[in-house]
Structure 1
Amino acid sequence: MDSALETAFAEEWPRVVGAILRASGSVDVAEESAQEAFARAADRIAAGERTQNIGAWVTTTARHVAIDILRREAVFRQKLPLLAEPETWEDAVEEQDDRLGLVYVACDPLLSPEQQIALALRIVCGVPTADIADFFGTSPATIAARLTRAKQAIARSGERFAWPSPADRSQRLGVALTTIYGVCTLGHTAVAGSGLMDPRLSALALLLARSIVAEYPADSESLGLLALIELGEARGVARTTADGMPLTLAEVDRSAWGRQRIRRGLDLAAQALPGGGRFALQAGIAGLHSSAETWEQTDWAAISTLYFGLTRVWPAPVVTLGSIIARSHLGASELDAAVDELRQLLGRQSEEFDRRIFAALADVEERRGARQAAREALQRASRGEKNEAVLRHYGRVAERLSERPLNSTR
């Protein structure tokens, strides 16, 4: 994609989708119109044409596409005035931050949690269906069906559809936070491609988190999520080498971390932690990692304690995995127990999650001196992995394991 068009896509996609959605009341019409408008823009650029303001051109084109779509539907006479008045359209685009509004739309209580997150990733971020499928550890066909059912559920609501009111937003706050966390997770480690991270999604997650804190400044979970994202972004600049090779927390140059952002994140985490919610506790864990001056000074006991509390309020598999990894750093005596616990987690979730378990197993096995077991776990972690940067990291670890002198009979 042309770089200028790619930038416009990241900035204008949610605005275009949101404005058409408000006017038409149809997620399908909004998404189809935006897709067609950007496709036409790509064709123009490929043909050598240049547009001074891509965002404005795409917005106008999407509006015309929406009119053409609605012309074939019975609702045309009702919806046309909303789409045909430029003043109304311009006001809608310029005065509202449709990104957060679209998150609240996707968090409609008519939908299941999986549908809510999938729909938000699709209509807010424009994430391809295949990438959403990888995020959930399922097939593109399954996600496509899930998205279709979500759109149909909203469409069946008929006249009750409206842009979420303040009361709706308050009711959907918890789900909105979970959805933004999903965007953050996808940005932290891209599903596929050559780069470790997806900067567009990371930036969007930060924008959404800041917007939601501006709306709910006293909500501890909103503060916790923002703290978690701020701390992750502060450390993100040092997560790879200059050529894109991923680094572990034990390897990174901590002097490259954004200290001002870390201080801001730690302050937010301190405000959130008394609430004891899932995002507040995760922010506390991130804060302990961020405040350790060296890897050796990491307070694994405190981190393990926070994971224990997190397991009680959010007993998710990813939390169990994090807790096992944290306890494995408490001493050599914990390594054998960690291997047993990690293997017990295998096969319970998705293939994607099993890859994460095998990656953790490789690290634990290496630390206990079991080189062959570590190599085998690393091979299993690599199977099906689509992120080239992650695969490069696994390759580097495999080389290290092969070169290390034999020091164990395991």
Structure 2
Amino acid sequence: MDSARHRPVSAGPDTPTGVEHLLRTEAPQVLGALVRRFGRFDIAEDAVQEALLAASRAWPADGVPEDPRSWLIRVGYRRMVDLLRSDQARRTRERETGMAELAMQEPARRGGPVREADDGLTLLLLCCHPALSPASQVALTLRAVGGLTTAEIAHAYGTTEATLGTRISRAKQQLARGGARFTAPTAADRDSRMTAVMRVLYLIFNEGYTASAGDVLARVDLTGEAIRLTRMLGDTAPDDAEVAGLLALMLLTESRRAARVGDDGGLVPLDEQDRTRWNRDLIREGTRLIDGVLGRRVAGPYQLQAAIAALHAAAATPERTDWPQIAMLYLWLERLTPTAPVRLSRVVAVTQAYGPARGMALLDDLNRRHKLDQDPLIRQRERAVRAHLLQMTGDAAGATTLYREAAALTGNEVERRYLLDEAGRLT
């Protein structure tokens, strides 16, 4: 495939797992190099995917090249030429010939591939372009920056490969039509674009932490990818306190993953989890991150959520959780991001801090003012929270009905079994 020198196959980066990690790490830089040279994100992304596929076949057998990125760029260039030549509708033959001549030059003759440190950030910003819908931003980010295949993303989000492929293809066409370029954002729009990137990474993590559908509670491939991409974002924006807060939130939340599912595969709620199974390394890293930025300036929503997660992590037992402080942080968070999930989380915190009567009064007030019980995106959780409140006050019949309603509204089988089990224990 390539004449580049290869390191002999050995344990570590040349193993299948090591190769996969290396490819996902290099993918954004390779894509950035191709897009910068050609200016065609839609075609370059396909070329990179084929280069990654070629590497995944060759490297485990032949060994990883001494310069993996240059190997991938050369293969990607060659595939890019083929794709450009077939793109007659968009490019004149003269332009394609010029592109081909440029691409076929060895990177070494041109001074080597450009390796700008902000390629990862620029690529994330391009994938999260405001012209795209949130669903398309997520899919394109996982494909182009995360290196996941279309089949892997489709499986994670409970859709077909054909549907997901169409979504990604349309997203790339939208970028092309909108004139999106592989350039760093201006000072004027950097903040809004960074906000979009963080929202996409947050959505990816949340889908991985509690899958919206399927027979498993969590998808480690998605949470792991969200954490990896957020680390990359933090490397390119080390002074951004909200990025640090987002990474801290992910690490502290992920630290509880092993304790969330019992030996029987059932869901284990927070107050029943075996805290010795929480990942202390992730807790230490996440706590260090949030302690380092909280109070530096006015805290943003990710910092506040990370601070809440840190309070949970600091409690040796459920009884020692500082629920009044958590309730106050949720009130602060609600003022910044007045969303239904945040409001419902404040109900839970107030209930734990001050009792079910206060919690029920707050929930009733929020339903009157914001109709949480009619919001299709949060109604399932609202039913579950109200059921728990009724159970705490001794209304077993009412709680049973609502647990069953909540179970019927979730697409996650582990969560459904838990809710039906709760109803069953009350009858």
Task: Answer whether TM exceeds 0.5 for this pair.
Answer: yes
1:32 aligns with 2:46: yes
1:195 match: secondary structure: coil
Identity of aligned residues (%): 32
2-side partners of 1:370 and 1:217: how far apart?
A: 51
Q: Is 302-311 or 49-58 further displaced after alignment?
A: 49-58
Aligned residue for 1:279? Answer: 302
- Residue equivalent to 1:392: 414
Q: CA RMSD in A?
A: 4.2
Q: Distance between the aligned counterparts of 1:189 and 1:91, measured in 2?
A: 43
Change (3 A) 1:370 1:18: farther
> Which of 76, 80, 83 is the equivalent residue of 2:96?
76
The letter for the 1-side match of 2:99 is: K
Residues 30-54 of structure 1, C-alpha deviation per residue, up to 9 Å, x if partnerless?
Answer: 3434555677899x89xxx984459
Judged with a 3 Å threshold, the aligned counterparts in structure 2 of structure 1 residues 96 and 150 are, in CA distance, closer, same or farther, namely: same
Contact conserved, 1:13 with 1:124, CA < 8 A, in 2?
yes
Q: Give 1:310 shift.
A: 0.8
Aligned 1:125-204 pairs, distance under 5 A: 125=146, 126=148, 128=150, 150-158=171-179, 161-164=181-184, 170-171=190-191, 172-204=193-225
In 2, are the aligned partners of 1:187 and 1:197 still within 8 Å (CA)?
yes
8 A Cα contact 1:15 1:99, kept in partner:
yes
Check the 8 A contact 1:8/1:54 in 2, yes or no.
Answer: no
What is the CA distance between 1:108 and its match in structure 2? 3.3
Task: Name the CA shift for 1:403/1:357 in 2 (closer, same or farther; >3 Å).
Answer: closer
Count of paired positions: 393
Q: How has the CA–CA distance of structure 1 residues 39 and 361 changed in structure 2, closer, same or farther, with 3 Å as cutoff?
A: farther
Distance 1:175 1:190, change over 3 A: same
Kept after mapping to 2: 8 A contact 1:133/1:142: no
- Tell me what 1:366 maps to: 391
CA distance in 1, matches of 2:27, 2:405: 37
Q: Return 323-332 or 277-286, whichever deviates more.
A: 323-332
Deviation (angstroms), 1:238: 2.3
Which segments of 5 or more consecutive residues in structure 1 lack a partner in the other structure? none
Match of 2:406 among 357, 378, 381: 381
**Mapping 1:7-406, distance limit 5 Å:** 10=24, 14=28, 17-34=31-48, 51-52=61-62, 63-73=77-87, 74=91, 75-87=95-107, 92=113, 99-111=120-132, 116-125=137-146, 126=148, 128=150, 150-158=171-179, 161-164=181-184, 170-171=190-191, 172-242=193-263, 244-274=265-295, 275-329=298-352, 330-337=354-361, 340=364, 341=366, 344-350=371-377, 353-383=378-408, 385-387=410-412, 391-404=413-426
Superimposed CA distance per residue, residues 289-328 of structure 1 (whole angstroms, 9 cap, x where no aligned partner): 1111211222222111111111111122221221222223
Distance 1:84 1:257 in 2: 52
With normalisation by structure 2, the TM-score equals: 0.74
Q: CA deviation at 1:155?
A: 1.2
Question: Distance between the aligned counterparts of 1:193 and 1:60, measured in 2?
Answer: 40
Q: C-alpha distance in 2, partners of 1:283/1:300?
A: 15
**Whose radius of gyration is greater, 1 or 2?**
2
The CA distance in 1 between the partners of 2:51 and 2:237, in whole Å, is: 35
Aligned-partner residue type, residue 364 of structure 1: L
Structure 1 counterpart SS, 2:221: helix
Which secondary structure does the structure 2 equivalent of 1:175 belong to?
Answer: helix
In structure 2, C-alpha distance between the alignment counterparts of 1:59 and 1:232, rounded to whole Å: 36
| Alignment partners' CA distance in 2, 1:139 and 1:345 | 31
